[in-house]
Amino acid sequence: MLSCTQRWIWRCVVVLVAFACAISAKIMITKVDYVSNPDYLTMSVQINNETEGSTVDVDGNLFLDVVQGVFVNIDLDSKMEGEYMTMIGTSKELCSTDEAGMDPVVPLLNEELEKFGNLSFNCPYHKGFYRMRRFRMSNDHMLVKMVPPGEYIVKMDLQHKQPNATDKVQVFKLSFYFEIS
């Protein structure tokens, strides 16, 4: 039979193990879909599933300079009762100097992107080669901590509007299907 002190220590150990499991979530990417506009760029995406989670490699070759009119939409969809529903969404004109409508998600993502290559959400974009190697969101990153275990899709849609044009042109669409455990 355990003494009161032993039971207390055992409970502390159980709580600490549960807490460690909660903060060491593993992100596994199960699928990626992407399409790019060949008038703007070529793009390839590779998923690397590793024991501690997934990493992503992206290669892109941009064919022209883009200094204004770049728009990004980012959505996080969660699978609930067999269907995906949007939890969080943000839209931003990346080349805008107006900080009034600044969404905090974009700078947080950009900070992580820049650690793994020369991809970013910062304008201007000059023609040339862009890459990202072994990108992963840290398990203790604020954006990861906010999301409970489950199945998700992160969708990114980048569009460009030429000066004096009325319509935006699709540059690329990217969807990452992943699980957090």
DSSP string, 117-152: BS--SPSPB-SEEEEEEEE---TTSHHHHTS-SEEE
Domain architecture of the chain: domains with CATH: 26-180 (2.70.220)
What residues contact 148, with CB distance under 8 A and at least 6 apart? 180
What CA–CA distance (Å, rounded) separates 181 from 26? 5
Question: pLDDT digit string (tens) for 20-72?
Answer: 333 346 788 889 999 999 999 999 999 998 877 788 899 999 999 988 899 98
DSSP string, 35-66: EE-TTTEEEEEEEEEETTEEEEEEEEEE-S-B
Question: pLDDT digit string (tens) for 69-105?
Answer: 999 898 989 999 999 999 888 888 888 766 545 566 6
